[in-house]
Amino acid sequence: MYTLSPFDQDKLSNYMHKAFDRAKNFIGYPIAQDFDYALLYPLLKLPLNNIGDPLLSSTYDLSSREMEKEVLAFFADLFRAPENNWWGYINNGGSEGNLYALYAARELYANGVVYYSDATHYSIQKNIKLLNMESIQIRTQSTGEIDYEDLRKMIDFNRQKPVILIANIGSTMTEAKDDITRYRRIMHELRIDNYYIHCDAALAGVYSMLLDLKPNFDFTFGADSISISGHKFIGSPLPCGLVLIKKNHKDRIGRQVAYIGTIDTTISGSRNGHTPVFLWYAMKCMGKEGFRERAVACLANAEYAMKKLQEIGIPAWRNMDAMTVVFPALRDKTLVEKWQIATGGGISHIICMPGVTKEKIDEFVADIALFEQKEMEEEELVP
Ligand SMILES: *Cc1c(COP(=O)(O)O)cnc(C)c1O
């Protein structure tokens, strides 16, 4: 049954070639590539599924729930979730974590208004639309951090409605971080009690905690929910992520379903049973110390990349403690394609994730230098 025609064999082998080739020049997106999960390959023979609530048992027991629970506990500890008052699940990534958090916030505050900055990941806007919530977009500073004055003004205009605040813990384009301590100060000054803070920590959440980077954003600093991606800093061949929330905020979500013998508390029904094992494996192999070392190496590479770009005259910059190096939008289409460089709002970036080596950075910088030189020579030819 499982044999390909020669034509399709060819097609597959071409595709596989191309995929490995594209992996060689992949510095534009925040995806770790240095993982090795070979020991887990036998599990690909099994239809693992963590359907339903991870913290409860289910009749569907061909799962990795036990590992999922360990991973969740690790991150609950890392993000300093209140003991005995947290809940979470492993999902498909940061976008689903954002959707879950906004859903929980809406169940809590049906007429709440969502405030998010214009540097916020596109999934927030999409999820707001899906949930039919009211929202206001807030200006950002030039670094990509939210403009607190604009935020205060907008909240004040709408002060009769509950406030749902999104904080970027590493914005998508510049890895800027919003300060939830300042959010809470604004709430306090405006005498607003009904508010909810979600930290979208998809990219920078894990290493920010491990290295105690500022501003703080964990549960003890006022987060009501935090979401991260698993395939970014940690690394996974399958997209994944995780959302954590104060347990008392989600009690209204979930329904007993006889068919699966558990409570349906998650966004998707069937859930990936393999990704929790990948995350568990990474967590066990590296531990906090290993993750920390990786992060330190990445930050050093980011500093290196910024300097190298500056040396060839590119005004590159990065936010404090960011793995993202920002520079004016790359003009050469060939380079954009070759290096898979994300561009938006007049800027481009590379992200020095685990797996991005100094050699890669050198190669990239050399490509840009060559392009710049060609441009200059052409300009000189124009009379
Ligand atoms: C990547 C990212 C997301 C989306 O995460 P996915 O795992 O791709 O769904 C959301 N927010 C931020 C800030 C991100 O960097």
* Same domain membership, residue 190 and residue 80: yes
Yes or no: say if 180 and 218 are a contact pair by the CB < 8 Å rule: no
Which is the closest atom of ligand 1 to the Cα of 93? 7
* Among protein residues, the one whose CA lies closest to atom 5 of ligand 1: 94
**Domain stops at, among 283, 313, 345:** 283
* Same domain membership, residue 132 and residue 269: yes
Phi, psi of 146 (to 5 degrees): -60, 150
* Same domain membership, residue 118 and residue 30: no
* Count of other CB atoms within 10 angstroms of residue 360: 19
Encoding tokens for residue 143?
Answer: 């670094």
Give the model's pLDDT for residue 2: 87
* Among protein residues, the one whose CA lies closest to atom 2 of ligand 1: 202
pLDDT in tens, 161-200: 999 999 999 999 999 999 999 999 999 999 999 999 999 9
Give the model's pLDDT for residue 309: 98
* Same domain membership, residue 358 and residue 298: yes
Mean pLDDT of 58-85: 96
pLDDT in tens, 240-271: 999 999 999 988 888 888 888 888 899 999 99
Number of domains in the chain: 2
Residue 375 inside a domain? The answer is no
Q: Which of 57-61, 79-83, 186-190 has the lowest mean pLDDT?
A: 57-61
Ligand 1 site-directed mutation target among 31, 123, 232, 351, most atoms within 8 Å of CB: 123
Give the model's pLDDT for residue 252: 80
- The verdict on whether omega for the bond into residue 215 sits within 30 degrees of 0, i.e. cis, is yes
Please give the biggest Cα pair distance in the chain.
Answer: 79
Give the model's pLDDT for residue 379: 83
Encoding tokens for residue 7?
Answer: 């034509």
Give the model's pLDDT for residue 154: 98
CATH number at residue 337: 3.90.1150.10
Rounded distance from Cα 71 to ligand 1 centre (Å):
19
236 in the Ramachandran plot: left (φ > 0), alpha (ψ -120 to 50) or beta?
A: beta
Mean pLDDT of the chain: 96
pLDDT at 362 over 70: yes
* Among protein residues, the one whose CA lies closest to atom 1 of ligand 1: 202
Which is the closest atom of ligand 1 to the Cα of 120? 13
**In residues, how long is the chain?**
383
Residue 376 inside a domain? The answer is no
* Count of other CB atoms within 10 angstroms of residue 341: 20
Rounded distance from Cα 46 to ligand 1 centre (Å):
28
Tell me which residue range forms the domain holding 20. Answer: 6-37+288-370
Query: What amino acid occupies position 282?
Result: A
User: Ligand 1 pocket by C-beta < 6 Å: which residues?
Assistant: 93-95, 121, 123, 168, 170-172, 200, 202-203, 229, 239, 241
Residue 101 inside a domain? The answer is yes
Which is the closest atom of ligand 1 to the Cα of 168? 13
Give the model's pLDDT for residue 255: 80
Query: Residue 19: helix, strand or coil by DSSP?
Result: helix
Residue 235 inside a domain? The answer is yes
Give the model's pLDDT for residue 260: 82
What percent of the chain lies above the pLDDT cut of 90?
90
* Same domain membership, residue 179 and residue 132: yes
CATH number at residue 243: 3.40.640.10
Yes or no: say if 35 and 247 are a contact pair by the CB < 8 Å rule: no
Rounded distance from Cα 189 to ligand 1 centre (Å):
31
Mean pLDDT of 1-12: 94
Query: What amino acid occupies position 42?
Result: P
Residue 68 inside a domain? The answer is yes
Query: Residue 51: helix, strand or coil by DSSP?
Result: coil
* Among protein residues, the one whose CA lies closest to atom 3 of ligand 1: 94
**Domain stops at, among 252, 283, 314:** 283
pTM: 0.96
Rounded distance from Cα 131 to ligand 1 centre (Å):
18
Which is the closest atom of ligand 1 to the Cα of 94? 5
The band of 135, judged by pLDDT with boundaries at 50, 70 and 90, is very high
pLDDT at 124 over 80: yes
Ligand 1 site-directed mutation target among 172, 238, 275, most atoms within 8 Å of CB: 172
Rounded distance, CA 204 to CA 74, Å? 17
Rounded distance, CA 169 to CA 301, Å? 20
Give the model's pLDDT for residue 383: 63
Pairing between β-strand 225-229 and β-strand 195-200 as defined by DSSP bridges: parallel
Rounded distance from Cα 378 to ligand 1 centre (Å):
40
Mean pLDDT of 88-112: 97
Residue 202 inside a domain? The answer is yes
* Same domain membership, residue 57 and residue 28: no
* Among protein residues, the one whose CA lies closest to atom 14 of ligand 1: 202
* Same domain membership, residue 222 and residue 360: no
